[in-house]
Amino acid sequence: MAADPLSRVFSALADPTRRDMVARLAVGDATVNELAEPYLVTVQAVSKHLKVLQDAGLVSRSRQAQRRPVHLEAEIFDLMTKWIECYRRQAEERYRRLDDLLRSMPDDVEPTPRPQPRQPRQPLTQPQPLKPPQAGAST
Amino acid sequence: MAADPLSRVFSALADPTRRDMVARLAVGDATVNELAEPYLVTVQAVSKHLKVLQDAGLVSRSRQAQRRPVHLEAEIFDLMTKWIECYRRQAEERYRRLDDLLRSMPDDVEPTPRPQPRQPRQPLTQPQPLKPPQAGAST
DNA sequence: GCCGTGGTCAACCAGTTGGTTGAGGAACAT
DNA sequence: ATGTTCCTCAACCAACTGGTTGACCACGGC
């Protein structure tokens, strides 16, 4: 539950029902009952899904008489797209570099250009649970 | 297991360890042992993570003597970014329209411009398990 | 006040997930 | 052939997830 924000967002969108709700909310705010209507699950289940989306920061909720309208907070998507773009770019650049390398040496070096045998760990994603105690060490 | 591709990708990246591995792989291919080294989990656990990433189409693996180098397949990211962009754009456009609407009517209509009371369901994500039979489905 | 509507909370259950250990397969070196 | 290295498979376990039902809270209408 206390997972990092990125995990929460990815995890929230890993469920097709939740993605579907996000899609529905993209066209306009909605109440829990409205959101629940298309599915055959109970309202409580939908409420749970909504809480997951809310914990991920993907939706917010206000009060309007008895209703609790749900509102999509699209900015959180940036968190994901930034992460994705970062590593995609890295990978693409790597291809480019490898390509250049292959271009620059016709055929007189060893034919297996192992990319990097061991990188010194870089910043990476976050201060991961790298080598913590073990077995379910969920910070 | 038989989830849709989008769910598999999101789900695969919902784990910080797996994201970390993707980050590591962005700088170059690696073997299972190399990938396992920074963590305190067993190699078997890493192998499982890799299988999840592979099922999601995020990595591929070849054979090189005893080694099974893991290679990042960055194109799959497109699947996510496309989905995200689609709904983000929709949401942004909605704000724009609402903004225009508010601008065009100074103060002589009701002050609660309920977005849309019920949209006719659109294509959305996939052919969801939308209201099949049973379970209190008040038709 | 009391009731209906809209929504949440709590307890429970089944299935999945992330980890473990142990056994074993595949490709080399000798 | 035997051993070594790298990796996967199988069985098991604890924790989490997505669903259920039932109780309950917060409003607004009467």
| Over residues B44-59, mean pLDDT | 96
Average confidence score pLDDT of chain A: 78
Query: What percentage of chain B reaches a pLDDT higher than 70?
Result: 71
The CA–C1' separation of A47 and C8, in angstroms, is 8
In Å, how far are A28, B13, B85, B94 from B97, measured between CA atoms?
Answer: 11, 34, 18, 5
Residue with tokens 């009060």: A63
Q: Do A3 and B13 touch (CB under 8 A)?
A: no
The CA–C1' separation of B72 and C14, in angstroms, is 35
**pLDDT tens digits along B78-113:** 989 999 999 988 888 877 776 777 677 555 444 433
Q: Give how far A28 is from chain B: nearest CA, Å.
A: 5
The contacts found for B58-62 with CB under 8 angstroms, 24 or more apart, are B58/B9, B58/B12, B58/B13, B58/B22, B59/B22, B59/B25
* Higher-confidence position of A95 and B114: A95
- Reported as a pLDDT band with limits 50, 70 and 90, residue A129 is very low
Structural domains present in chain B: 5-75 (1.10.10.10)
Q: Which of A120, A124, A117 is nearest to B29 (CA)?
A: A117
Q: What per-residue confidence (pLDDT) applies to A111?
A: 40
- In angstroms, the CA B134 to CA A110 distance is 65
- Reported as a pLDDT band with limits 50, 70 and 90, residue A89 is confident
Q: What per-residue confidence (pLDDT) applies to A126?
A: 39
A79 touches chain B (CB under 8 A): no
Q: Do A84 and B81 touch (CB under 8 A)?
A: yes
- Under 8 Å CB-to-CB from B41, ≥6 apart: which residues? A134, B17
Residue B19 has pLDDT above 90, yes or no: yes
Length of chain B: 139
Residue with tokens 């299972």: B32
- Reported as a pLDDT band with limits 50, 70 and 90, residue A94 is confident
What are the backbone angles phi and psi of residue B61, rounded to the nearest 5°?
Answer: -140, 145
Query: What percentage of chain A reaches a pLDDT higher than 90?
Result: 55
- Reported as a pLDDT band with limits 50, 70 and 90, residue A72 is very high
Nucleotide nearest to B31 (CA to C1'): D6
- Reported as a pLDDT band with limits 50, 70 and 90, residue B70 is very high
SS (H, E, C) chain A: CCCCHHHHHHHHHCCHHHHHHHHHHHCCCECHHHHHCCECCCHHHHHHHHHHHHHCCCEEECCECCECCEEECHHHHHHHHHHHHHHHHHHHHHHHHHHHHHHHCCCCCCCCCCCCCCCCCCCCCCCCCCCCCCCCCCC
Q: CB-CB: which of A17, A80, A131 is closest to B128? A: A17
A45 touches chain B (CB under 8 A): no
Nucleotide nearest to B45 (CA to C1'): C19
Residue A39 has pLDDT above 70, yes or no: yes
Q: What per-residue confidence (pLDDT) applies to B44?
A: 96
Four-point Cα dihedral B49, B55, B59, B62, nearest 10 = 100
* Higher-confidence position of A129 and A83: A83
* Higher-confidence position of A47 and B3: A47
Q: Do A122 and B23 touch (CB under 8 A)?
A: yes
A115 touches chain B (CB under 8 A): yes
Q: What per-residue confidence (pLDDT) applies to B116?
A: 37
Residue A130 has pLDDT above 90, yes or no: no
Q: Give how far A72 is from chain B: nearest CA, Å.
A: 8
